[in-house]
């Protein structure tokens, strides 16, 4: 089984200057998903084709005939990020252009829910593209409805505060790792160097690569735009969203060992979507998070503290 060394980070490493996400895009202020794209494209560079199914990014990218991306972009149907990208990758292969990176870029709805079949099909075939899910934990494009990525007890417009979401968030990382694709990773805009490093690493690997990006969304989470980065960091520090990598479904590794750990309450209290939670509920969430973390530590085994220098 091939192993993939992490790209080395020089002590004074700086993100590439080139901006492939142009000013004038249509994201809300503080949108994690737009920052994520900016960083991802910095890492992947100009030789990239982006595929975007229906989601907030269908709007962020700009209407016909404009584009906020300086790379080729295909807007596609909601559930086809996986299948359409397979077609592009196959065409690039027959046309002798395998130097081009294909990146599918979908929301959590397009990934966890309606697009899961196409994604699973592509991953099972190990088709050659990077699939990115920017996860804002609800259907934001259509106005904040629950998805299977919405956390337990969160408010959305289809899970009102009187009867918030009853089911836990779907474990997409376990699902993708179970496909034994060469590379699965989580990332967030709160740790940009880790995110960028993972895209550079993914770019060098062949086959299906899956990157799950935790993306704060001020209007959907009822948070302040200025808090998006803070929330992204708190999600990692509270163990709600660990930063990790999985190679071939087997080698699990925690890539960022947080500089400090904080209680989940710190993370939850900044968000209007959790305003209705009781103390008991917050305690249960804390227990769930701790258990999931313990499970992850077991999976990571000796790689547990092999932390990236960029933490």
Is residue 194 at the binding interface for other proteins, with CB under 8 A as the rule? Answer: no
By a kind-dependent CB cut-off of 5 to 8 A, residue 75 interacts, out of other proteins, ligand SF4, ligand TPP, none, with other proteins
Site string for ligand TPP, 51-70 (x = CB under 6 A): ---xxx--------------
CB of 81 to ligand TPP, least distance (A): 9
Site string for other proteins, 81-100 (x = CB under 8 A): -xxxxxxx-xxxxxx----x
Q: Which is nearer to other proteins, 7 or 45 (by Cβ)?
A: 45
Stretch touching ligand SF4 by CB under 6 A, among 13-21, 197-205, 212-220, 263-271: 212-220
Is residue 40 at the binding interface for other proteins, with CB under 8 A as the rule? Answer: no
DSSP output for the chain: ----PPPP--TT--------BPTT--PPTT-HHHHHHHHHHHHH-SSEEEEEESSHHHHHT-STT--SBSS-EEEE-TT-HHHHHHHHHHHHHHTT-TTSEEEEEEEHIIIIITTHHHHHHHHHHT-S-EEEEEE-SSBTTTTSB--TTSPTT--BTTB-TTS---SPPP-HHHHHHHTT-SEEEEEETTSHHHHHHHHHHHHTS-S-EEEEEE---HHHHT--GGGHHHHHHHHHHTTSS--EEEETTTEEEE----SS---HHHHHTT-GGGTT--HHHHHHHHHHHHHHHHHHHHHHGGGGG---TT-
Longest Cα–Cα distance of the chain, Å, equals: 59
Is residue 107 at the binding interface for ligand TPP, with CB under 6 A as the rule? Answer: yes
| 8 A C-beta contact, residue 81 and residue 55 | no
Q: Where in 193-252 is the site for ligand TPP (CB under 6 A)?
A: none
Site string for ligand SF4, 118-137 (x = CB under 6 A): ------------------x-
Q: Which is nearer to other proteins, 71 or 172 (by Cβ)?
A: 71
Is residue 139 at the binding interface for ligand TPP, with CB under 6 A as the rule? Answer: yes
Is residue 24 at the binding interface for other proteins, with CB under 8 A as the rule? Answer: no
CB of 64 to ligand TPP, least distance (A): 16
By a kind-dependent CB cut-off of 5 to 8 A, residue 108 interacts, out of ligand TPP, other proteins, ligand SF4, none, with ligand TPP
Specify burial of residue 170 (Cβ count, 10 A radius: 0-12, 13-18, 19+): middle
Q: Which is nearer to other proteins, 46 or 295 (by Cβ)?
A: 46
Is residue 141 at the binding interface for ligand TPP, with CB under 6 A as the rule? Answer: yes
Site residues, ligand TPP (CB under 6 A): 54-56, 78, 106-110, 136, 138-142, 147
Q: Which residues bind ligand SF4 (CB under 6 A)?
A: 27-28, 31, 33, 56, 60, 136, 140, 217-220
């Amino acid at each position: 089984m091939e192993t993939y060394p992490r790209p080395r980070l020089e002590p004074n490493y700086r993100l590439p200057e080139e901006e492939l996400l142009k000013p004038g895009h249509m994201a809300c202020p503080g949108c994690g998903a737009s920052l994520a794209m900016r960083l991802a494209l910095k890492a992947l560079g100009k030789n990239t084709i982006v595929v975007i199914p229906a989601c907030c990014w269908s709007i962020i990218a700009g209407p016909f005939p404009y584009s906020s991306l300086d790379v080729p972009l295909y807007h596609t149907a909601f559930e086809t990020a996986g299948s359409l990208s397979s077609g592009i990758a196959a065409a690039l292969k027959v046309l002798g252009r395998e130097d081009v990176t294909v990146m599918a870029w979908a929301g959590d709805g397009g990934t966890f829910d309606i697009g899961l079949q196409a994604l699973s099909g592509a991953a099972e075939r190990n088709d050659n593209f990077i699939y990115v899910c920017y996860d804002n934990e609800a259907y934001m494009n259509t106005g904040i409805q629950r998805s299977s990525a919405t956390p337990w007890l969160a408010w959305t417009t289809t899970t009102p505060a009187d009867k918030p979401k009853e089911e836990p968030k779907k474990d997409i990382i376990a699902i993708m790792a179970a496909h034994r694709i060469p590379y699965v990773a989580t990332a967030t805009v709160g740790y940009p160097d880790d995110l960028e490093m993972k895209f550079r690493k993914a770019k060098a690997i062949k086959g299906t690569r899956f990157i799950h990006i935790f993306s704060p969304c001020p209007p959907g989470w009822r948070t302040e735009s200025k808090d998006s980065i803070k929330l992204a960091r708190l999600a990692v520090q509270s163990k709600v969203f660990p930063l990790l990598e999985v190679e071939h479904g087997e080698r699990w590794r925690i890539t960022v060992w947080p500089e400090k750990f904080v209680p989940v309450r710190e993370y939850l209290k900044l968000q209007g979507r959790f305003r209705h939670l009781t103390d008991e509920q917050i305690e249960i969430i804390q227990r769930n998070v701790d258990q999931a973390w313990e499970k992850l530590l077991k999976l990571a085994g000796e790689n547990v503290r092999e932390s990236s220098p960029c933490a």
